[in-house]
Structure 1
Amino acid sequence: MIQNLIRLSLKNRYFVLLIAAGLFIWGIFAVRNNPIDAIPDLSENQVIVFTEWMGRSPQIIEDQVTFPLVSNLQGIPKIKNIRASSMFGMSFVYVIFDDDVDIYWARTRVMERLNYAQRLLPQDVTPTLGPDGTGVGHVYWYHLDAPDMDLGDQRALQDWYIKFALQTVPGVSEVASFGGFEKQYQLVIDPVKLQYYNISLLDVMKAVKTNNNDVGGRKFEMADMAYIIRGLGYIKNIEDIESISVGNNQGIPVRVKDVASVQMGGDLRTGIFDVDGKGEVVGGIIVARYGENADKVINDVKEKMKEVEKGLPEGVTLKTSYDRSTLIEAAIDNIKTKLVEEMIVVAIIVIVFLFHWRSAFSIIIQIPITIAIAFILLNAFGLSSNIMSLTGIALAIGVIVDNGIIMSENAYKNLSDWQNHNQNKNS
């Protein structure tokens, strides 16, 4: 069979060359379109359901949030396993699907069940889906270099400007903020004053909540003009909160400042982010979307960061904390170097020992064509390039070269035997 295949190829050599050229061109497009990352993605096919209910103990979270969610998510088709974790103020449910399930189909099925399970949860508790990224999706970390800005202002700048801008980059699933203080208005209630004015804590909470709101009115027409009547009531500063009425005492209004002190502070933190032991910083984590080209996402994020820096306050810059593209580019440079080295070594060996450049060329041409076909197969099976696969290709180059040299040497030996046989026959 092999002899027939060789004979057929020799009779149709131009057709074989055309097929080889077509595979090489196809392989070039496959290399450009193949997602590349430094780390192979061995994470499970999962959808994360996150629920926040601050101030509650892990036992309450387990009984009133985690257990109802797990019970209702069990009926989703093609589920392999469900895991859950309850902690102070938060619940995590990990829905593990079969490996052949499309991630966005799985997220849709989970969302359908969450709409049904919502009625079983406490009031104002809403579960949300985690980002559509993998366990190795944290491809880029950055932090703010702002020596003249406090951590609260840095976190506000990150959450309300930088984060929104970077989320528009194609392939970015989420920009997770870390570090600093999340600003909030804090009311420090004096229980003695509440008792003196005969006002409950719920009265204070209700008054503050209802007074932080805009209301709409009707349309008022006058002199052929229509005016929209609105009641502006959103809180803008501490003084607005202090002036809110929470009750009355003998006909005199009791305001928030009469029973509590209002201040601007930071939300409860469970950790800090420190850089090189020089102090706290504020930054973000870029999470790449499932199946995206990590190297392209990182480069697009860097380009976007250059535009974002133009709108930052004076003296504030963005610094890189972790960049996976360095590993990716090192892996790519390694296979390029090995490819060139093998071509040079093969050319020298064949030319020195056989004194025939066409034999060297026939061996060298096999290397890029074989690598191109490898990337075609990677795309066909939905596999991405990473350190493991690129290293395997680099090692396989040596096998390709060895086979080419052996075949060329064997062809020369058979030609030599055939020539000697003919010469002896003629003599």
Structure 2
Amino acid sequence: MVQKLIELSLRNRFIVLLLAAGLFAWGIYSIRQNPIDAIPDLSENQVIVFTEWMGRSPQVIEDQVTFPLVSNLQGIPKIKNIRGSSMFGMSFVYVIFEDNTDIYWARTRVLERLNFAQRLLPQGVTPSLGPDGTGVGHIYWYHLDAPKMDLGEQRALQDWYIKFALQTVPGVAEVASYGGFEKQYQLVVDPVKLQFYNISLMDVMNKIKANNNDVGGRKFEMSDMAYIIRGLGYIKNIEDVESIALGNYNGIPVRVKDIGSVQMGGDLRLGIFDMDGKGEVVGGIVVMRYGENADKVIRNIKIKMAEVEKGLPEGVSFKTSYDRSTLIGEAIESIKGSLIEIMISVSIVVLLFLFHWRSALVILIQLPISVAIGFILLEAFGISSNIMSLTGIALAIGVVVDDGIVMVENAYRHLSEAQSEKTTSTP
């Protein structure tokens, strides 16, 4: 069988060369299309359901949120396991699907069940799906270098400008903000004044919520012109909060400033983000979408950040905290260096031992073609190019070289012996 295959190849050299060139071109195309990452994605195929109910204890969260969700999410096709986790004010439900399940099909089925489970949860509690990323989706971290801005202003700049801009980059599932203070209006209530004016704390909350709103009216036509009537009620500063009416006392309106004081502060923090021990910073974590090319997404993020940086306040710039593209580039350069080193060393060995440049050329041709075929198989089976797969290719190059040297040396010896016998047998 092997002899017939060799004979067929020798008789059809042009077809063999054409097939080799086609495989090499196909391999180059697969290299460009295959997702490149530094870390192999070994995480489970999961959908995260996140529910927030602030101020409740873990036991209340477990009984009224986590348990109803876990009970109703069971029975979805292709589910392998469901895990629930309850903590102060938050609930996480991890729906684990089988490995061959399409992640977006799974998210759709989970969302269908959540629409039904919503009626079993307390009023005002709404579960939501986590980002369509994986456990290794944190591909890029950055922070702001803004020495002239406080942490609250930096966090506002991150949440209301930078975050929204970076989320438009293709392949980005989420941009998670960290550090700083989330600005909020804080009302410090005097309970004695509440009792004096006979106003409950729930009345204060409801009145403030109701007054932070715009209202619409009808059109008013005058002199062939139509005017839209609006009631502007959004809170813009502390004075607006202090002026909200809560009730009346003997015909005199009771305002927020009469029962307490209003101040601008930061939301409760559970931790800080420190950079190299030099102080707190504000930044974001870019989470890549499932199945995307990490190297390509990072390049697009850097391009977008260069555009966003032009619109930042004076003295504010981006600093990179973590960049996975560095590790990706080193992995690619490692496989390139190994391939070049092996080709050079093999050429020298073959030329020294056989003194035949055509034999060395045979081995040099088969190396890039073998690597190209390896990337074709990676693309066909949906395996990304990462440290593990590139290391496997690098190790396989050594095996290919060993086989090539043995086969070339064996063929060269047989051809030499055949030529010697033919020379000696000629009279």
TM-score for the superposition, normalised by structure 2: 0.99
Superposed displacement of residue 334, structure 1? 0.5
* Rounded Cα–Cα distance in structure 1 between residues aligned with 2:97 and 2:65: 21
Superposed displacement of residue 422, structure 1? 2.6
Over residues 165-224 of structure 1, what are the superposed CA-to-partner deviations in whole Å (9 max), with x where a residue is unaligned? 111111111000001000011111110000011111111111111111111111111111
Equivalence for 2:379: 379
Superposed displacement of residue 303, structure 1? 1.2
Equivalence for 2:9: 9
Question: Equivalent residues in 2 for 1:86-97 (5 A)?
Answer: 86-97=86-97
Superposed displacement of residue 96, structure 1? 0.2
Question: Equivalent residues in 2 for 1:211-290 (5 A)?
Answer: 211-290=211-290
Task: Give the counterpart letter for 1:418 in structure 2.
Answer: A
Over residues 108-151 of structure 1, what are the superposed CA-to-partner deviations in whole Å (9 max), with x where a residue is unaligned? 10111111111111111111111111100001100011111111
Superposed displacement of residue 424, structure 1? 3.9
Equivalence for 1:51: 51
Equivalence for 2:338: 338
Structure 1: segments with no counterpart, 5+ residues: none
Equivalence for 1:65: 65
* Rounded Cα–Cα distance in structure 1 between residues aligned with 2:142 and 2:220: 52
Equivalence for 2:306: 306
Identity of counterpart residues, as a percentage?
79
* Rounded Cα–Cα distance in structure 2 between residues aligned with 1:413 and 1:19: 27
* Rounded Cα–Cα distance in structure 2 between residues aligned with 1:314 and 1:338: 46
* Rounded Cα–Cα distance in structure 2 between residues aligned with 1:15 and 1:184: 73
Task: Give the counterpart letter for 2:283 in structure 1.
Answer: G
* Rounded Cα–Cα distance in structure 1 between residues aligned with 2:205 and 2:321: 41
* Rounded Cα–Cα distance in structure 2 between residues aligned with 1:264 and 1:89: 23
Question: Equivalent residues in 2 for 1:397-408 (5 A)?
Answer: 397-408=397-408
Superposed displacement of residue 359, structure 1? 1.2
* Rounded Cα–Cα distance in structure 1 between residues aligned with 2:218 and 2:419: 106
* Rounded Cα–Cα distance in structure 2 between residues aligned with 1:153 and 1:410: 74
Over residues 303-323 of structure 1, what are the superposed CA-to-partner deviations in whole Å (9 max), with x where a residue is unaligned? 111111111111111101111
Superposed displacement of residue 369, structure 1? 0.5
Equivalence for 2:184: 184
Equivalence for 1:351: 351
Over residues 386-413 of structure 1, what are the superposed CA-to-partner deviations in whole Å (9 max), with x where a residue is unaligned? 0111111111111111111111100011
3-state secondary structure, aligned to 1:137: strand
3-state secondary structure, aligned to 2:134: coil
3-state secondary structure, aligned to 2:135: coil
Task: Give the counterpart letter for 2:262 in structure 1.
Answer: V
Over residues 56-90 of structure 1, what are the superposed CA-to-partner deviations in whole Å (9 max), with x where a residue is unaligned? 11011111111111111001100000001000010
* Rounded Cα–Cα distance in structure 1 between residues aligned with 2:102 and 2:80: 14
Task: Give the counterpart letter for 1:167 in structure 2.
Answer: Q
* Rounded Cα–Cα distance in structure 2 between residues aligned with 1:245 and 1:152: 29
Over residues 322-341 of structure 1, what are the superposed CA-to-partner deviations in whole Å (9 max), with x where a residue is unaligned? 11111110000001111111
Superposed displacement of residue 421, structure 1? 2.6
Task: Give the counterpart letter for 1:236 in structure 2.
Answer: K
* Rounded Cα–Cα distance in structure 1 between residues aligned with 2:43 and 2:258: 56
Over residues 2-23 of structure 1, what are the superposed CA-to-partner deviations in whole Å (9 max), with x where a residue is unaligned? 1111111111111111011001
Asked if 1:74 is matched to 2:74, the reply is: yes
Equivalence for 1:142: 142
Equivalence for 1:360: 360
Structure 2: segments with no counterpart, 5+ residues: none
Superposed displacement of residue 94, structure 1? 0.3
Spell out structure 1 runs of 4+ moving beyond 6 A. Answer: none
* Rounded Cα–Cα distance in structure 2 between residues aligned with 1:391 and 1:33: 19
Equivalence for 2:204: 204
Greater CA deviation, 234-243 or 349-358? Answer: 349-358
Asked if 1:392 is matched to 2:353, the reply is: no
Equivalence for 1:416: 416
Superposed displacement of residue 299, structure 1? 1.2
* Rounded Cα–Cα distance in structure 2 between residues aligned with 1:78 and 1:351: 58
Superposed displacement of residue 420, structure 1? 2.8
3-state secondary structure, aligned to 2:126: coil
* Rounded Cα–Cα distance in structure 2 between residues aligned with 1:128 and 1:412: 68
Task: Give the counterpart letter for 1:387 in structure 2.
Answer: I
Count of matched residue positions in the alignment of Structure 1 and Structure 2? 427
Over residues 211-238 of structure 1, what are the superposed CA-to-partner deviations in whole Å (9 max), with x where a residue is unaligned? 1111111111111111111111111111
Superposed displacement of residue 39, structure 1? 0.6
Asked if 1:29 is matched to 2:29, the reply is: yes
3-state secondary structure, aligned to 2:133: coil
RMSD of aligned alpha carbons: 0.9
* Rounded Cα–Cα distance in structure 1 between residues aligned with 2:303 and 2:338: 30
Equivalence for 1:38: 38
